[in-house]
Amino acid sequence: MRQEEGQSKSPEEILQMPDADPGLATILAEIERRVEERRAQGMYRDLEIQDLERERLGEETKPIDLDPIHDLFTDPMHELTFLLQFARQYSEVNTYYPIGARPGPLKPLIVLVKRIIRRFMTPYMEVVFAKQRAFNEKLVQSLEAIVEIMRVESEREYRGGVDRYAAWVEMGLRGSEEAVLGDAARRFEPGKQVVNLYAGTGGFLEACRREGLKAVGVEEDSRLVSMCQEKRLKVQHIHPLHFLKSCPIESLPGVFVEDLGERGDARELVWMVSALADKVEKEGKVVILNHHPKSFHGVEEAFRDPTVLRLVHPETMQNILKETGFREVSVDAIDGPEPDAGETRAKDLDIGGGDESRALLDALRGPRFYLLEAGR
């Protein structure tokens, strides 16, 4: 209950303490007593900041039920993703917030005064907000890195721990393709440096060394990096997309990628090609070596590897490269396996004639890989 006019107290009377020289405990106790006394009189209201802001702007206060939102978070990754979106939304701070006032005859005047004050205070506030924005940006980047790390670890857990190292080294599911990799290495001009994204066990880098090419690898798996370094191959431990992001525009003369788009997130194929379109120099070249989806042996060999999730058709790859700005995109089918003497030869198969029979023979005898070259 507010005091009536004529009974108001001076600041000295309000702040007067019972003791001449009170201690800290006495002061805190007196403050707490007076707060409780005024709360009982209805002078204080326990409202959330959002409700106070709505009241200041003259908006109706509506209770928010957060229980349905929290019920959606059955997975911690969902909640992290929600928090990341929230952080992105509010990381950009500035002085242009809505100005309002409680309804009344003085509302237009109050709004005008507030706008004038903001106009004069903006230069000083921007100095502080610039530092706050820089801090918020780094904080959001850190949160994004944490979410990405957790996503990768979750994917590895769901795959039962079978990653490229486990499949190629521990399970021995990757055979030697020296001839195919040698053919890919010879597509690059001598004297120009080649970057091998997803270097793996270093097969292509070894082929470059045999061909006398200068090559460096980029690999995200530290165990595969160690294997390459034991072979005295130059390999950088970083995710290929992060590596491309750090490269200057049009700075890479040559790039080689094997099994592009066949593993991981399907969106990574477009991300990778788009990044390559920015980072490869004008006269540079990109060479891609993938399993051929039209080859029976190529498909069988690809899906023997549990980390391969899909095959990318050469026409699909060709169209994506052209859409992102590459020109002179060509595709060659390579490595048609010659059957051994004990194997059944395609010409000995009695499957009749016609287009369907020829398509079946092409699938049985077709090359296992396609090699795609693209220039800018």
Q: What percent of the chain is predicted at pLDDT more than 70?
A: 73
Q: What is the pTM of this model?
A: 0.58
pLDDT digits (tens, 9 = 90+) for 276-328: 999 999 889 999 999 999 888 889 889 999 999 999 999 999 999 999 999 88
The reported pLDDT for the residue numbered 295 is 87
- Helix (H) / strand (E) element for 74: namely none
Q: Are residues 207 and 90 in the same domain?
A: no
Q: Are residues 137 and 201 in the same domain?
A: no
Confidence tier at 343 by pLDDT (50, 70, 90): very low
The reported pLDDT for the residue numbered 15 is 47
Q: Are residues 114 and 196 in the same domain?
A: no
Residue 331 domain-assigned (yes or no)? yes
Place of tokens 């980029």: 218
Contacts of 261 (CB under 8 A, 6+ apart): 268, 269, 272, 290, 310, 312, 317
Are the beta carbons of 208 and 215 closer than 8 angstroms?
yes
Q: Are residues 186 and 237 in the same domain?
A: yes
Residue 15 domain-assigned (yes or no)? no
Please state the rounded mean pLDDT for residues 185-207.
Answer: 94
328 Rama sector, left if φ>0, alpha if ψ -120 to 50, beta otherwise? left
Among 118, 135, 158, the domain-final residue is 158
Are the beta carbons of 238 and 258 closer than 8 angstroms?
no
The reported pLDDT for the residue numbered 2 is 45
Residue 64 domain-assigned (yes or no)? no
pLDDT digits (tens, 9 = 90+) for 87-135: 887 787 777 777 878 888 888 888 888 888 888 888 888 888 888 888 8
Task: Quickly count: other Cβ atoms within 10 Å of residue 128's Cβ.
Answer: 10
pLDDT digits (tens, 9 = 90+) for 356-375: 666 666 667 778 999 999 99
pLDDT digits (tens, 9 = 90+) for 241-253: 989 988 999 999 9
Burial class of residue 218 in the structure, from the number of CB atoms within 10 Å of its CB (0-12 exposed, 13-18 middle, 19+ buried): buried
Residue type, 29: A
pLDDT digits (tens, 9 = 90+) for 135-146: 888 888 888 888
On the question of pLDDT at 154 being above 90, the answer is no
Confidence tier at 232 by pLDDT (50, 70, 90): very high
Q: Are residues 191 and 285 in the same domain?
A: yes
Q: Are residues 34 and 93 in the same domain?
A: no
The reported pLDDT for the residue numbered 99 is 81
Rounded Cα distance, 375 and 330, in Å = 9
Q: Are residues 114 and 43 in the same domain?
A: no
**Coil, helix or strand for 291?**
strand
pLDDT digits (tens, 9 = 90+) for 54-96: 665 555 545 444 444 444 444 566 677 777 887 887 787 777 7
What φ, ψ does residue 205 adopt, rounded to 5°? -65, -35
Residue 171 domain-assigned (yes or no)? yes
Among 103, 130, 158, the domain-final residue is 158
- Helix (H) / strand (E) element for 153: namely helix 107-158
Query: Which residues lie across from 373 on neighbouring strands?
Result: 287, 330
Q: Are residues 218 and 311 in the same domain?
A: yes
Are the beta carbons of 221 and 163 closer than 8 angstroms?
yes
Contacts of 112 (CB under 8 A, 6+ apart): none
- Helix (H) / strand (E) element for 346: namely none
Tokens, residue 269 = 């194929």
Place of tokens 């929290």: 70
Q: Are residues 39 and 107 in the same domain?
A: no
Total domains present in the chain: 3
Domain limits at 47? 25-59
On the question of pLDDT at 156 being above 90, the answer is no
Tokens, residue 183 = 């053919």
Q: Are residues 54 and 142 in the same domain?
A: no
- Helix (H) / strand (E) element for 254: namely strand 252-258
The reported pLDDT for the residue numbered 26 is 77
pLDDT digits (tens, 9 = 90+) for 16-66: 545 455 566 777 777 778 778 877 776 666 666 666 666 655 555 454 444
- Helix (H) / strand (E) element for 253: namely strand 252-258
The reported pLDDT for the residue numbered 157 is 58
The reported pLDDT for the residue numbered 286 is 97
Q: State the CATH number of the domain containing residue 345.
A: 3.40.50.150
The reported pLDDT for the residue numbered 72 is 40
On the question of pLDDT at 1 being above 50, the answer is no
HSE value, Cβ hemisphere, 13 Å, CA-based, for 211: 25
The reported pLDDT for the residue numbered 323 is 93
The CA angle 245-159-224, to the nearest 5 degrees, is: 50
Q: Are residues 55 and 152 in the same domain?
A: no
The reported pLDDT for the residue numbered 345 is 44
Residue 66 domain-assigned (yes or no)? no
Among 129, 158, 187, the domain-final residue is 158
Q: Are residues 31 and 139 in the same domain?
A: no
- Relative to beta strand 280-291, strand 215-219 is unpaired
